Amino acid sequence: MNAGPSPVATEAPRTEEPDPAVAETVRLSYREALRMAMREELGRDERVFLMGEEVGVFNGSYKVSDGLLDEFGPDRIRDTPISEEGFVGAAVGAALLGERPIVEIMTLNFLLVAMDQVVNHAAKVGAMFGGKVRCPLVIRTPNGAGNQLTAQHSQSFDGWFAGTPGLKVVAPATPADAKGLLKAAIRDDDPVLLIENLSAYKEKGEVPTDPEYLVPLGLAAVAREGTDISLISHGFASVRALETAERLAAEGVSAEVVDLRSLRPLDVETVAASVRKTNHALLIEEGWPSFGVTAELAARIQHVCFDYLDAPIERVGMAEVPLPYAKNLENAALPNVDRILGAARSVLAGSRR
């Protein structure tokens, strides 16, 4: 059972991705890709188990774990009461002894009641105990807004977690990355928060069937090449960025989209290479920009690309309000393609609106 650390986790990150052009792929939704990753890892490693609210009998609140209870039984697919602090902490404990728990949190909003276990416990294990124990834990949870779920259910705290040394934070934007990043996270020897997105679950794409398809942590992807402006984003914001790039192309603007995939570790190199090429940067996130992911990115970019910037860096995120319910207010507050387009044009015009 306890087979020691997995080989992949100790390997240095590959600098090149597995080439999907030569790999055999299948068309899956984002949620199916996550399920494929879990099914493969549950089958591969006895130490892996899934727990969370409604993951078993109900087949997952968002059906990510559909069918897994039937296949792996209630010991490996464990339904929990509504006790986030308790079962996230229990996963930390199980990980200390070498188990590889995957915890599903219904949405990122509910991770707040377990914040203490994540930030004060999971993230501290490695350093505080002098590297004598490890905490190979995965927490999977969707963020996001856009379905009128209102203030308490529409949040993206990605930056809070990514700002915590000791944690790793990844956020796949495509089905292939959902599979590859989740598998890499499960095999990783540290606590990893994998941020999914409610609107992304139904997005479809080609996913490698290879059970060894891993996307290394800490590696961004250039999701679309371009020369005039860099749109830099992660998670569902990358889906919006790609759509924006398509719209910009129609206006004769060549936009490059850098999908971060991983927030901590952050691939500053890929970001810098893009900005040095395009000389314009627009940063996009689902959450509130102030003190957020885009704030961090802007600081890094000005530091490493100071001489390359032709215009001030701009950012788009959720309007800085607790998200209101009414559809018109919600639409106005979301970082939608129209707002991103407007910001891109203003960066290209070289001056702040």
Ligand X SMILES: Cc1ncc(C[n+]2csc(CCOP(=O)(O)OP(=O)(O)O)c2C)c(N)n1
Q: Please report how close the Cβ of residue 135 comes to ligand X at its closest, in angstroms.
A: 23
Partner interacting with residue 165 (select from other proteins, ligand X, none; CB below 5-8 Å by kind):
none
Kindly list the residues in this chain that would bind ligand X in the complex (CB under 6 A): 53, 82, 84, 106, 110, 113
**The residue type at 297:** L
The answer to whether the CB of 175 falls within 8 A of the CB of 29 is yes
Q: What is the nearest approach in angstroms of ligand X to the Cβ of residue 238?
A: 27
Give 324's DSSP letter. Answer: P
Strand partners, 79: 52
- Cβ 84 to ligand X, closest distance in Å? 6
| CB 163, min distance to ligand X, A | 23
Task: Pick what 191 binds: ligand X, other proteins, none; C-beta below 5 to 8 Å, kind-dependent.
Answer: none
CB of 12 or CB of 57, closer to ligand X = 57
The whole-angstrom distance between residue 74's C-alpha and the CA centroid of its chain comes to: 28
Q: How far is the CB of 264 from ligand X (least distance, A)?
A: 25
CB 137, CB 192: distance < 8 Å: yes
The CA angle 7-119-239, to the nearest 5 degrees, is 70
Provide the token pair at 56: 């078993």
- Pick 112 or 311: Cβ nearer ligand X: 112
Cβ-contact 216, 14 below 8 angstroms:
yes
Judged by beta carbon, residue 44 or residue 153, the one nearer other proteins is 153
Binding partner of residue 342 among other proteins, ligand X, none, CB under 5 to 8 Å per kind?
other proteins
3-state SS assignment for residue 175: helix
Q: 309 is written with which tokens?
A: 């910037």
Q: Which two tokens stand for residue 349?
A: 């015009």
Please state the three-class secondary structure of 301-313 as a single string.
HHHHCHHHCCCCC
What three-state secondary structure class fits 139? strand
**Which residues are annotated as catalytic?**
84, 153
Measured CA to CA, the distance from residue 346 to residue 39 in angstroms comes to 46
Whichever of 118 and 181 has its CB closer to other proteins, that residue is 118
Cβ-based neighbour number of residue 125 at 10 Å:
21
Q: What are the two backbone dihedrals, phi and then psi, of residue 291, each rounded to the nearest 5 degrees?
A: 65, 20
C-beta of 110 vs 308, nearer to ligand X? 110
- Name which of 113 and 222 has its Cβ closer to ligand X: 113
Tokens representing 317 are 């995120």
188 binds, among ligand X, other proteins, none (CB under 5 to 8 A by kind): none
Nearest distance from residue 295's CB to other proteins, in Å? 9
Helix axes 293-304 and 268-278, enclosed angle (nearest 10): 60
Residues lying near other proteins in the complex (CB under 8 A) are found at 53-54, 57-59, 61, 79, 81-86, 109-110, 112-113, 147-153, 289-290, 294, 314-317, 319-322, 324-329, 332-333, 339, 342-343, 346, 353
Q: How many CB atoms lie within 10 A of CB 309?
A: 17
24 interacts with, out of other proteins, ligand X, none, CB within 5 to 8 A per kind: none
Please choose, from the candidates 178, 226, 184, 230, the residue with its C-alpha nearest in 3D space to the C-alpha of residue 206: 178
Q: Which does 39 bind (CB under 5 to 8 A by kind): ligand X, other proteins, none?
A: none
Select from ligand X, other proteins, none the partner in contact with residue 151, using the beta carbon and a kind-dependent cut-off of 5 to 8 Å. other proteins
Nearer to ligand X by C-beta: 41 or 84? 84
**Amino acid present at 10:** T
Q: Cβ 141 to ligand X, closest distance in Å?
A: 11
